[in-house]
Structure 1
Amino acid sequence: MRVLFLIQGYDRPSSRYRVLQYLPYLKQKGVKAAVAVYPHDIGSDRKIYREIGNYDVVFIQRKRPHPLFLFFLLQRVKKLVYDFDDAVMYRSTNAASPYSATRERRFARTVKAADHVIAGNSFLRDQARQYAEQVTVIPTAIDIKRYTPKNYKKSKKVTIGWIGSRSTLPYLDRIKGVFEELGKRYKHLELKIICDTFFDCDKIPVIKKMWSEKEEIADLKSLDIGVMPLSDDLWSRGKCGLKILQYYGVGVPTVCTPVGVNRDVVQDGISGFWAMTHEEWVEKLSILVEDPMLRQEMGMKGREVVKKSFSVQACAPQLYQVIEEVARRGSG
């Protein structure tokens, strides 16, 4: 079975976590996979266009094809799988309105054209099911063999941390006041931001760590508490909780906004806490700051959740099954 994966870029998180990390498993299952960066226009990579009909399945990750390219694809591909892990049919949180007729139209066109759709969470699944019947939820996952538990040795400092891209940093900035209040209360507390851009806080030291793939897991293990604040809007409901999975992968407990998949991953009061208001953020973070044994207990419970439902080891067979069934329908 030959499969062509069209991705947005080798350094994109969605490409790494929803395609690239599965390739070794798919190879073991006999899949001959090829990966190419999604072409910008019909003339940008003629080799892809010449050879696209030679694959049993073409798998598009996240990108909604231009109508002309989609028409071209449908003339040549045997079977098409579309995978998405964001609310691509809506505008982002920062937009004046989440609704976009152009985004919705292109999303609908892509989903209708696909032989099977893979959605990153149940909210995204429901969006796709407005236009297609063959929709499967496969959550974003991490390799639990790569994310090993941290050492819970005692330290004079307690580090609250956040990892992410500059596009999601505004979510963290919105609860800056929480960290400043906690910093006044706990002199041994610090905030660590793992990103490529940063902000400062009053009353609490901020450790600014440039993100790198090589040091990512070591940086995660340096945290005592992970946070994932979000807004409660249509764009945020499409998020697939990667930050939480990364925290849990190394056994770090989490406080999060209970929006979208966050509610499924974090069991409130068991593997972490939910927080919506300023007061809830301060209260829940304070509990974890003051109780190192609870941090370890919740972190390891979170890791078990990831291992069972949000790991490559759990999700790879699901991905293979979808691709194999789609290819079989094409040859039948």
Structure 2
Amino acid sequence: MADIEVFGWQSDHSGGYYRIQLPLQALAMRGRVTVSGFYMPDLVRDNPKTVIVGQRICDPHATRVWQSLAAEDHRLVFEIDDDLWNTDPSSASVHKYFADEEIQANLRRNIEVAAAVTVTTEPLADRVRPWNPNVHVVPNAVPDWLVNRQPQQRGDGTITLGWGGSPTHQMDWERHGGPIHRFLDLHSQAEIHCIGNNYARVMGLPQERIRFTPWVANVETYLHTIDYHIGIAPLQEHIFNRSKSALKVIECGALGIPVVASDVGPYRDYVQDGITGYLVRGDREWVRYLSALANDSDMRVAMGEAARARAAQQTISCLTPLWEKAIFG
């Protein structure tokens, strides 16, 4: 049996898919021997030749293991995809955990002893460079099959707005939920579909206008669950959000779904305004742009296809060389 060349140590399901599983699957397609999981096998820990990619290693037990591996001269790559030093109190459980002084100290210590650090964006790279100068910006990528998939959208005249994501977006919906609600008030044949977290409840909509899908078994199932006509990506101007990636927009684009997104950070840099979607700069523009897309199926198709072509440049096969360089040096 060949030695494991890379072990991906996951800390969660969704980020673990995009930042551990998918990259290691792509490396395996190139002939590398890779394994990933939430628990580290003894044969990985005992083999100093195995590169270990650790996702957001910061809890006390995992930190002790990480520091021990560093002392034993394992090649460690610290993977982080959010600015965990600036979470917002509106996401109470997330903020409480990452604001803890021990967790903050562990993040810094574990970054410092790594041979390399991988991040999703340049602002996040700037955040971690004081602790480790060997930072690799490897943008989020979607699986190649996604750009060939046609989502199963409603065909009964109802327009579905859609959003999916983690429990770190309370402030975004508190800021932008009102204008999106106004669009739904004006369009009786429209609904909203939230996946993962039901932020549509923030808007006080009648239940019949909301569809909610709780977080599903894995990310590939989630991607098959996306059935929107129009993706929405509200984002508050906040220091935490400056380091986020445009993943929600890329997922929708790969499926041929145009997106209306806040003109903030990651979306400003990715969305081609008026071509692959719309960027919202003021509250009234939510209603304006959502109405334009809801009322014009040809526009939705044209923008969706442009968005798909854009997303095809950000599939995992396109970005595997960046992962290979970061992991193997």
Task: Return the TM-score normalized by structure 1.
Answer: 0.82
| Greater mean alpha carbon deviation, residues 129-138 or residues 243-252 | 129-138
Q: 2:285 aligns with which of 280, 287, 290?
A: 280
| Greater mean alpha carbon deviation, residues 295-304 or residues 30-39 | 30-39
1:140 & 1:187 partners in 2: Cα distance?
36
Taking a change above 3 Å as real, the CA distance of residues 169 and 292 of structure 1, as seen in their structure-2 partners, is farther
The question of 1:304 aligning with 2:309 is answered yes
1:71-220 matches, cutoff 5 A: 71-92=67-88, 94=90, 104-150=104-150, 155-168=156-169, 171-172=172-173, 174-195=175-196, 197=198, 199=201, 200-202=204-206, 205-212=209-216, 213=218, 215-220=221-226
Shift of 1:58: 1.4
Taking a change above 3 Å as real, the CA distance of residues 219 and 5 of structure 1, as seen in their structure-2 partners, is closer
Taking a change above 3 Å as real, the CA distance of residues 60 and 54 of structure 1, as seen in their structure-2 partners, is same
The question of 1:314 aligning with 2:314 is answered no
The residue aligned with 2:54 is 60
The question of 1:2 aligning with 2:5 is answered yes
1:120 & 1:155 partners in 2: Cα distance?
39
2:80 & 2:323 partners in 1: Cα distance?
13
| Greater mean alpha carbon deviation, residues 239-248 or residues 188-197 | 188-197
The residue aligned with 2:262 is 257
Shift of 1:147: 4.3
Per-residue CA shift, 1:264-287, capped at 9, x if unaligned? 221222211111432122222122
| Unpaired segments ≥5 residues, structure 1 | 40-44, 326-332
Aligned residues: 314
1:136 & 1:288 partners in 2: Cα distance?
37
Contact 1:57/1:77 (8 A) holds in 2 = no
Task: Return the TM-score normalized by structure 2.
Answer: 0.83
The question of 1:30 aligning with 2:31 is answered yes
Contact 1:191/1:204 (8 A) holds in 2 = no
Q: 1:232 aligns with which of 237, 244, 260?
A: 237
Shift of 1:185: 2.0
Contact 2:253/2:304 (8 A) holds in 1 = yes
**What letter matches 1:243 in structure 2?**
K
**What letter matches 1:233 in structure 2?**
H
**What letter matches 2:82 in structure 1?**
D
**What letter matches 1:57 in structure 2?**
V
Contact 1:4/1:34 (8 A) holds in 2 = yes
Taking a change above 3 Å as real, the CA distance of residues 272 and 71 of structure 1, as seen in their structure-2 partners, is same
| Greater mean alpha carbon deviation, residues 136-145 or residues 149-158 | 149-158
2:287 & 2:128 partners in 1: Cα distance?
37
| Unpaired segments ≥5 residues, structure 2 | none
Taking a change above 3 Å as real, the CA distance of residues 203 and 277 of structure 1, as seen in their structure-2 partners, is farther
**What letter matches 1:217 in structure 2?**
L
2:56 & 2:177 partners in 1: Cα distance?
31
2:273 & 2:174 partners in 1: Cα distance?
23
1:63 & 1:203 partners in 2: Cα distance?
39
Contact 1:93/1:236 (8 A) holds in 2 = no
**What letter matches 2:50 in structure 1?**
D
Contact 2:90/2:171 (8 A) holds in 1 = no
Shift of 1:34: 2.7
1:123 & 1:149 partners in 2: Cα distance?
32
RMSD value, Cα: 3.0
| Greater mean alpha carbon deviation, residues 67-76 or residues 155-164 | 67-76
SS state at 2:37 partner: strand
Taking a change above 3 Å as real, the CA distance of residues 68 and 218 of structure 1, as seen in their structure-2 partners, is closer
